[in-house]
Structure 1
């Protein structure tokens, strides 16, 4: 009876711990799991193959990495449960929640995301070239010809999109499948970021891109609803981007702030909105932080419900 009453609290408490630890910043690169995922993915050079062979090789490499990530996360989570046996007492439960939360933290990154957005705006105050250079660290597009408004728009879009990729989606999959779920999502998202391009890597990265699309489908829409109210306008705007998911949080942020966002020559969101202004960053960060808090509470409740 005690086990039933205690164990559903483990994951909700771990979510709270992870967000608190996130305020301290990121762990060093040598021990950061996402950095390790990137190194693994960087070992593979899958260009120059016929389309079918490239697809098969990319899928196999992805599955190998995903299996390794899930196994490590499952082992770590299992060790915490085995050693602390959190179902035995509230004190043991608290200790397990702290350890699982610390392990979860590197799989989400709210503080780093907010700091990077601030850094772009700070660089723009210095000069347009500085703003372009800072933005180039966050986006894959060419930033050399962007205006100050376009740099600001891209920074807002990046923050909105990564609010899902770096916070809400990892927490969502943590609620569904514990530490292995969050780790699998971050691996899939990292693989898509490194391989999922429509260039010579297209076929080798197609599996990675589709896997990320599937795993991000529900969280992206949840993120959008945490930012803005559901509406037909949101549905229309979200469909304007090539990605089936990234348009949702970006369109929600555009509508919530009343600003026009877009990628030149590719899409425009909320076309009748005003141009982004320097002071919009404060509003963006406030909206995003409220979404993080509300999302964490909602996801913690989901974790509790699934395990009660």
Structure 2
């Protein structure tokens, strides 16, 4: 996080750093805003509306469909442009018209919906609490977090999936949005959240909900890969800072996953905990590690919280030093 958003006077930069910490406090105290006021929900509604009208039914899939790829790319670009323009307009108005202390609060309220730590932590710990009741309860709770079929997962596999989800989404839901906020301000965070949501809804290989997403969602998947590349590796470093040791071999383990990015935080978490994390039939991270237990889920959540604080500290310093250099 070394190249911050377009330069502001020092007082505005300090207000933006304060906004980041205020946004984290709002997340801690209040969690997510109601769905009707949530910009990421609005993004999802647009993506869902477009996707279900354009992605073809499985019976009509072509082996190579460049026109569908182009339509998907255009729909993504239109959505991303709208999100970026609105966010840029909101930011410009706040910076121009608001005094620094009001700017900090207003920017915090605008930034908060673009990341989510409290909800992620609560959902992962809820899986562990549900496992203490029964395996079926654990599976049902995990289904809120992941898109895979959970009906055949063992207790160990349910726990592994929850810890993986915490590590992966620590990047997607927090580190990456704040990374792009530092680089490009509110538009950067907003466009990243659009890209990540588009990947989650369109970026499938093959069939989902009766439609084939391979060509229509290819642009969305590649755009998310590109935007997530730096922060995913940063997330692995932040987890190492949280655990206060480096996960040796993390790069090799990360390459075992199909994704160019999600393997980094997941592999770091597996190595730091000393446990095996796997997706049956796809990959196994730290395959020689011990089975994860309930204490590992708690430890993963604790390290995630420390990584959140480290992210905010690094982001604040980057904003401050950039403003100092500019001044």
Could you state the TM-score of these two structures normalised by the residue count of structure 2? 0.89
Q: Residue 232 of structure 1: CA displacement?
A: 5.1
- Which of these residues, 176, 182, 186, is aligned with residue 179 of structure 1? 186
1:155-194 superposed matches below 5 A: 155-194=162-201
What whole-Å deviation, never above 9, does each CA across 1:128-162 have from its counterpart, x for those lacking one? Answer: 11111111111111100000000000000000000
Distance in 1 (CA, whole Å) between partners of 2:220 and 2:286 is 30
1:201 counterpart = 2:213:
yes
Q: Residue 282 of structure 1: CA displacement?
A: 1.4
- Which of these residues, 219, 233, 239, is aligned with residue 227 of structure 1? 239
1:43-192 superposed matches below 5 A: 43-44=49-50, 45=52, 46-48=54-56, 50=62, 51-84=65-98, 92-192=99-199
* Structure 1 residues without counterparts, runs of 5 or longer: 85-91
Computed over aligned residues only, the root mean square deviation of the Cα atoms, in angstroms, reads: 1.3
Q: How many residues align?
A: 299
Q: Residue 230 of structure 1: CA displacement?
A: 4.6
1:240 counterpart = 2:256:
yes
Give the structure 2 partner of residue 42 of structure 1.
48
Distance in 1 (CA, whole Å) between partners of 2:76 and 2:24 is 29
Give the structure 2 partner of residue 87 of structure 1.
none
Please say which of residues 229-238 and 72-81 is displaced more in the overlay.
229-238
On the 8 A contact 1:11/1:175 being kept in 2, the answer is: no
What whole-Å deviation, never above 9, does each CA across 1:10-47 have from its counterpart, x for those lacking one? Answer: 32111101100101111000010000000000111332
Distance in 2 (CA, whole Å) between partners of 1:132 and 1:240 is 25
Could you state the TM-score of these two structures normalised by the residue count of structure 1? 0.94
- Which of these residues, 280, 294, 305, is aligned with residue 310 of structure 2? 294
* Structure 2 residues without counterparts, runs of 5 or longer: 1-7, 207-211
Give the structure 2 partner of residue 272 of structure 1.
288
On the 8 A contact 1:195/1:208 being kept in 2, the answer is: yes
Distance in 2 (CA, whole Å) between partners of 1:216 and 1:205 is 17
SS of equivalent residue, structure 2 residue 294 = coil
SS of equivalent residue, structure 1 residue 138 = coil
What whole-Å deviation, never above 9, does each CA across 1:162-219 have from its counterpart, x for those lacking one? Answer: 0000010000000001100000000000000000111110111111001101110000
On the 8 A contact 1:164/1:220 being kept in 2, the answer is: yes
Q: Residue 126 of structure 1: CA displacement?
A: 1.4
Give the structure 2 partner of residue 89 of structure 1.
none
On the 8 A contact 2:192/2:227 being kept in 1, the answer is: yes
Give the direction of change, closer, same or farther, for the CA distance of 1:231–1:148 in structure 2 (3 Å limit).
Answer: closer
Distance in 2 (CA, whole Å) between partners of 1:108 and 1:189 is 11
